[in-house]
Amino acid sequence: MTYGEVIAVDRLDLEVAEGTVTAVLGPNGAGKTTTVETCEGYRRPQAGTVRVLGLDPRRERRRLGSRVGVMLQNGGSWSGVRAAEMLRHIAALHAHPLDVSLLIERLGLGSCGRTPYRRLSGGQQQRLGLAMAVVGRPELVFLDEPTAGLDPQARHNAWDLVRELRDGGVTVVLTTHYMDEVEHLADQVHVIDHGRLVASGSPATLAARGSENTIRLRARPGLDLAGLVRALPAGAHAQEVAPGSYVVSGKVDPQALATLTAWCAAEGLLPESLHVERRTLEDVFLDLTGRELRP
């Protein structure tokens, strides 16, 4: 693997493929920041091996400094520095930086380019941090909760930037606890909790993982389901879970749906409602990490 076997938090093994967007997903305190900061060279793993672009992020940090872009979860700028001035400074440390004015416009920071960092809003500080991570045209960027505190427009704007980075050949590793961010952006997602990897895969395979879809149907109570159960494909079953509320579960595929509607037509039944429900990534996430609140 070009991008190495990365990361050790608690015997955490994961790899990041070149030119992809990888999300590290987990609840607060799961070890997301520790994981990326170990890759960024801020922390020394007590055991195990971390390789970033084939290099040791601590001992060969200097060589990684020009190749890796970093967005910290917060801070990273002087309190009195102006937004554009800070970005220009980071750009000046690189050989072939992006055009700073264009990047500022691109991230909607044009109106606050002369505002001191301490007077920027949380969202503006986040966007500046994102700009600082990409301005040096790195091969690999680590974004620690890049859209925390952004409004919907700014989030979509940031997502567009991440997609463009990937399309340009940049490898992106981001941490998040937003499901929609993972679903919209990530090629690969690694769910971690208590410092351990609990699941890996593409968002789609993860959402489908061990899950069964269901069809919910509302109609008059007391329907005889025997004919439907016989007609459904093997592995699918139907039951009335509450008066007037029916659920088809098990192997729910298009064939099962067709069988159900054919049965409705034969019975002369027009359901009040009919929903095909897919398990979301959020359901899977909550199943994996539990539903209790985190401290």
Alpha-carbon distance of 112 to 120, in angstroms, equals: 7
Residue 164 sits at the vertex; the CA angle it makes with 160 and 166, to the nearest 5 degrees, is 120
CA dist 257 → 219, 263, 275 (Å): 16, 10, 10
Minimal distance in Å, beta carbon 148 to other proteins? 15
CA dist 178 → 16, 39, 112, 117, 286 (Å): 20, 22, 27, 26, 12
Cβ atoms within 10 A of the Cβ of 130, count? 25
Minimal distance in Å, beta carbon 38 to other proteins? 13
Nearer to other proteins, 179 or 186 (CB): 186
CA dist 74 → 41, 145, 273, 279 (Å): 17, 9, 47, 33
Minimal distance in Å, beta carbon 174 to other proteins? 15
Q: Which amino acid is at 206?
A: L
Nearer to other proteins, 36 or 215 (CB): 36
SS3 category, 256: helix
Minimal distance in Å, beta carbon 27 to other proteins? 23
Minimal distance in Å, beta carbon 238 to other proteins? 51
Q: Which amino acid is at 70?
A: V
Minimal distance in Å, beta carbon 176 to other proteins? 20
**DSSP bridge partners of 25:** 176, 191
Nearer to other proteins, 77 or 175 (CB): 77
SS3 category, 41: coil
Binding footprint of other proteins on the chain (CB under 8 A)? 40-42, 61-62, 65-68, 70, 72, 74-81, 85, 89-90, 92-99, 102, 132, 134, 136-139, 161, 164-165, 167-170
Q: What values do phi and psi take at 245, rounded to 5?
A: -120, 115
Nearer to other proteins, 142 or 263 (CB): 142
Alpha-carbon distance of 277 to 75, in angstroms, equals: 42
Q: Which residue has the tokens 């691109």?
A: 106
The answer to whether the beta carbons of residues 176 and 27 sit under 8 Å apart is no
Cβ atoms within 10 A of the Cβ of 295, count? 5
Nearer to other proteins, 170 or 197 (CB): 170
Nearer to other proteins, 90 or 150 (CB): 90
Nearer to other proteins, 85 or 187 (CB): 85
Minimal distance in Å, beta carbon 85 to other proteins? 8
Minimal distance in Å, beta carbon 189 to other proteins? 22
Nearer to other proteins, 160 or 212 (CB): 160
Q: What values do phi and psi take at 142, rounded to 5?
A: -110, 120
